[in-house]
Structure formats: C-alpha cells, structure tokens
C-alpha cells in the first residue's frame, strides 16, 4: 500500500556491523544548511532578510544553502536568491496535484515559483495541524514526483527519549530507491524545538546513525552513504561547529537562528 513504512522497534543498538573499509564515511556527502523561517516575515521583510542572508553566505561554496519561507514570501525571496548559491524552499506541500483543497498549495505550484526544496512532516505540523505518518508520506511522494527535494522530518518527544524508545518513533517511509537521491532526513527531537534545549553532539549523532542504518537495511549501503541526514533541534551559532563535526550529521534544519543573518552565516561557515 501507499502507507508501507519501516519502523524501528525495541532495539537498543540498531547499528549495522560493517568492515572498516565499508563504514559509512561522510567524505562524499555534501552538507546542507536549510533555514526554516516558520510563520515570520511579510514579503517586504522577507526581501530584506534574504538580502542579509546573501551577504553572509556569498562566496561560501563548501555546502548547500536553502531558505524555506512562508508561501506568501516565495515570489519576493525568489527575486533575491535567483542566481546566487541560495536555494529556495517551502515549508509544506499538499499531496494532490489540484482540486477542492481550499488553502493548500501543490508541488507543481511550488516548482513553478522556483522552489526546489520543501519541508514535510515538521513536528509543528504534526502537533498543531494533525499531520500523521500517512499524510507526511503522501506529501513527500508528491514533492518527489514533482522533482522537488523533500526534507522529511522525524523525531521524538522528551518523554519518549526519557523512556528510551527513541528508535521506536523514528520512521522511514517507503520511497522508491531511485528517488532517494532527492530525500533529506531531518532529525528533530521534538523536545528541543523552540525550547533552547539541544541534544548533545553524541545524542544527535546516535539517532542520525540509526536513521542511516535503516536506510542501509532497506536500500543498501551505497544509498545510505549518500543520504543527507540533518539535525534540526535548536542548532545555533554556538553549537553548530560541534554538531556538524559528527560523523552522521550532514547539515542542519535551522529555526530561530535562520532569522539572524549573522548567526546563520556562522552556521554555514561551520558546515564548510
């Protein structure tokens, strides 16, 4: 069915044992720093913020830079980032191409506006707007089928981590292997989103490693080696360097710090 998915359950150490030369090296993975502006910035304000971000990241070619903006800001920001190293992203997408879905935006609409990336399944969408594994799966497929890169968010709440069941709530959706090159998995511990709390470098790397091991089991080691796994739990200018140095963390999905060009620039520098 469309809702086939892999769920890790009850496994304390789910890493795959491989020979030294086969370990999943980060050497060939390019880091991706994506700013999630959430519900901030009018189109006028968004233009100024985009200009500020560009001034901070121009000339930095060591990683990919994305800004995921509110729907109404997309045309304004598209004008600013066109021809620069900054790629344009959206924060959500509907799973149908067209129809009677008042207030929704399709993947083809986004693509026609110059969008290349889209966030799906963010914890705030799940908590406040009723997103489920099924709808997130459908949205991701719609984005991928339109040629967009899907940033699929997964994570756990504080009580789930404290109970030791992190692995049980990190799901991988059944996406065809040929589309995995356009998939980014963003690990966002829900207990760290907007709270100022951050997983330790080792905690973040551990779960990102679990995600990569699931991909290896399902798609093989080569796909897992190439998969971009971001950390999305209150990464900021102060902690970015340590987090981005970890073996399984290939970038960040940045919330509050993405609204501060200087801080965002520091994170992009750390990713290089």
Q: Which residues are catalytic, by number?
A: 122, 188
Q: What angle do CA 46, 61, 237 make, to 5 degrees?
A: 60
Q: At a CB cut-off of 8 Å and minimum separation 6, what does 241 contact?
A: 270
118 by DSSP, 3-state: which?
strand
In angstroms and rounded to an integer, the radius of gyration of the C-alpha atoms of the chain is 18
Q: What are the angstrom distances between the C-alpha of 225 and each of 222, 242, 245? A: 5, 21, 16
Query: What is the distance between the alpha carbons of residues 272 and 267, in angstroms, rounded to a whole number?
Result: 9
Query: What is the distance between the alpha carbons of residues 105 and 96, in angstroms, rounded to a whole number?
Result: 9
Burial of 142-180, coded b for 16+ CB within 10 Å and e otherwise, reads: bbbebebbbbbbbbbbeebbeeebbbebbbbbebeeebb
Residues β-bridged to residue 229: 185
Q: CA torsion angle for 176, 177, 178, 180 (degrees, to 10)?
A: 100
Residues in the chain: 272
């Amino acid at each position: 069915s469309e809702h086939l998915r892999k769920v890790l359950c009850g496994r304390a150490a789910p890493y795959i044992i491989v020979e030294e030369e086969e370990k999943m090296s980060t050497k060939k993975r390019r880091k991706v720093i994506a700013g999630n502006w959430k519900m901030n910035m009018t189109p006028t304000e968004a233009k100024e913020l985009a200009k500020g971000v560009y001034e901070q990241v121009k000339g930095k070619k060591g990683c990919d830079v994305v800004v995921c903006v509110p729907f109404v800001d997309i045309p304004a920001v598209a004008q600013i980032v066109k021809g620069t190293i900054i790629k344009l992203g959206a924060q959500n997408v509907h799973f149908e191409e067209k129809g009677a879905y008042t207030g929704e935006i399709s993947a083809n609409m986004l693509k026609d506006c110059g969008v290349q990336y889209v966030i799906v399944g963010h914890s705030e969408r799940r908590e406040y707007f009723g997103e489920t594994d099924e709808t997130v799966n459908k949205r991701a497929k719609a984005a991928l089928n339109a040629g967009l890169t899907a940033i699929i968010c997964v994570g756990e709440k504080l009580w789930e981590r404290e109970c030791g069941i992190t692995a049980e709530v990190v799901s991988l959706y059944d996406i065809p292997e040929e589309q995995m090159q356009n998939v980014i998995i963003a690990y966002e511990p829900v207990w760290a989103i907007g709270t100022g709390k951050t997983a330790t470098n080792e905690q973040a790397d551990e779960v990102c490693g679990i995600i990569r091991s699931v991909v290896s089991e399902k798609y093989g080691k080569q796909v897992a080696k190439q998969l971009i796994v971001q950390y999305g739990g209150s990464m900021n200018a102060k902690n970015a360097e340590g987090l981005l140095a970890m073996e399984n963390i290939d970038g960040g999905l940045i919330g509050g710090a993405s609204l501060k060009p200087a801080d965002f620039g520091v994170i992009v520098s750390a990713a290089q």
